[in-house]
Amino acid sequence: MTGKSLKSIFTLFVCLVLSEGTVSQVIAGSPRGEAAGWEQVPKILSRIKTPTFTDRDFNITDYGAAGDGKTDCSEAFRQAISAANKAGGGRVVVPAGSFLTGAIHLKSNVNLYVPQGAVIKFSADPNSYLPAVYTRWEGVECINYSPFIYAYKQKNIAITGKGILDGQGENWWKWKRTYEDRQSLFKHGQDCTPVKKRQYGGKTLRPNMIEPYKCENILIEGVTIRNGPFWHIHPVLSQNITIKNVKVEGRGPNNDGCNPESCKDVLIEGCYFNTGDDCIAIKSGRNNDGRRVNKPSENIVIRDCLMKAGHGGVVIGSEMSGSIRNVFAENCIMDSPNLNQALRIKTNSHRGGFVENVYARNIAVGQVSEAVLKVNFHYEEGDTGKFTPKVRNINMENIICKKSKYALFLKGYERSPIADVRLKNCTFDNVESADIIDNVRNLVLENVKINGSVKK
């Protein structure tokens, strides 16, 4: 689905569900006087440049791959990627057919091209993702199964085309309830155990599906990503990232759509998310390990996306110990009884860190099951730690929602109130319950209607 078609859907959606007066309000965009934060966006986008590649093709069938869905093509992928890299770059082409493989490790200047009719089918055998690699799992660094498509300290890499990446996640989702390894890893992070001693290959921490780690100049465009074992797209400690016109379908446990973590200069555009967890979740490391790495996520632009099922549409946290700033979301549609929140920030006093400068505008929400905006300092462990989080400068303009339990659910700490929350030209209909506002400083509502009544 292209960004242009999503804009058309956005306009049609608004016209179908809103009155004429509110339509013009949403489509027109933000008044000039409220645009100071948005003026950063052109500068951010000017730094995000998609990588280019040498005009050479390396077809995986020339290296022994067979598209019968049964033959292990892992070695063919490895050889084709190595050849392209050594030649100075190019496209590694996956032709029509179904190609079974284990871990794929991208190298610099390589575009993995998966055209329509081509399927990369990832093995259900955990041994296909060994030896283990340096990765980050729920915000804690460790040595774990390789992500299905992985790159480490590479530049100019891409996954493009209109083909399918099939994670066969149903074979992995049964590991959701194996908490022992998860708690063991979190203890390693808390105790600052050297990362090389945090060995989890062969255990039960599900790998992420796509993970560029400490990479630069990344493009993921056009592909359909289906049923990952865990999080689908997870760039970590990387910068200059474009994720465009990607379709993510995965309703399994922890099946987040796209989770940039400790990343800088990211564009997520024209994408579709139908997920078992957050559609987009921006992160920066968990607790002591996040503070050790101490790298924020910043300058994230999200636009023209469609969010269906998921825990939240655009989410920040809960792994935010390295802090998050400058997040911009616009011209998106969110609509499903299985979507809990439109915009959510989740944290607690174990996470610490700060979130600042979050802007959302021109968002059409059909329905969410809980709140349109939720900021909660009492997530998971609650207020039982020593690292008080801070959240400030949250802005929402031209947001409409046709059905929700709450319009606003804001719960900070008395010692650290949620600061500077501004809503302008927003309409929330069929709201079931009164707002929850607890420890918030400087909440400003301008032309905000809830169930037809103007709120101040």
- Tell me the three state secondary structure of residue 372: strand
Q: Residue 135 and residue 133: Cα distance in Å, rounded?
A: 6
**The pLDDT value given to residue 385:** 97
CA atoms within 13 A on the CB side of 366: 17
Which residues does the annotation mark as catalytic? 277, 311
Which ranges of 267-367 does DSSP label H, i.e. alpha helix? 287-293
**The pLDDT value given to residue 383:** 98
CATH at 311: 2.160.20.10
**The pLDDT value given to residue 126:** 98
> Which helix (H) or strand (E) segment is 267 a member of?
strand 264-269
Sequence-separated (6 or more) residues with CB below 8 Å from residue 247: 1, 223, 224, 225, 271, 272
Facing residues of 418 across strands? 440
Buried b (16+ CB within 10 A) or exposed e, 98-115: bbbbbbbbbbbbbbbbbe
Range of the domain at 340: 3-455
Give the count of domains, the chain: 1
By the 8 A CB rule, do 347 and 416 touch?
no
pLDDT tens-place values along the chain, 456 residues long = 555 555 555 545 544 444 333 333 333 333 333 446 999 999 999 999 999 999 999 999 999 999 999 999 999 999 999 999 999 999 999 999 999 999 999 999 999 999 999 999 999 999 999 999 999 999 999 999 999 999 999 999 999 999 999 999 999 999 997 889 999 999 999 999 999 999 999 999 999 999 999 999 999 999 999 999 999 999 999 999 999 999 999 999 999 999 999 999 999 999 999 999 999 999 999 999 999 999 999 999 999 999 998 999 999 999 999 999 999 999 999 999 999 999 999 999 999 999 999 999 999 999 999 999 999 999 999 999 999 999 999 999 999 999 999 999 999 999 999 999 999 999 999 999 999 999 999 999 999 999 999 987
Q: Residue 216 and residue 241: Cα distance in Å, rounded?
A: 7
Cα 318 to Cα 192, 282, 305, 315, 348: the distances in Å are 20, 9, 22, 9, 8
CA atoms within 13 A on the CB side of 29: 5
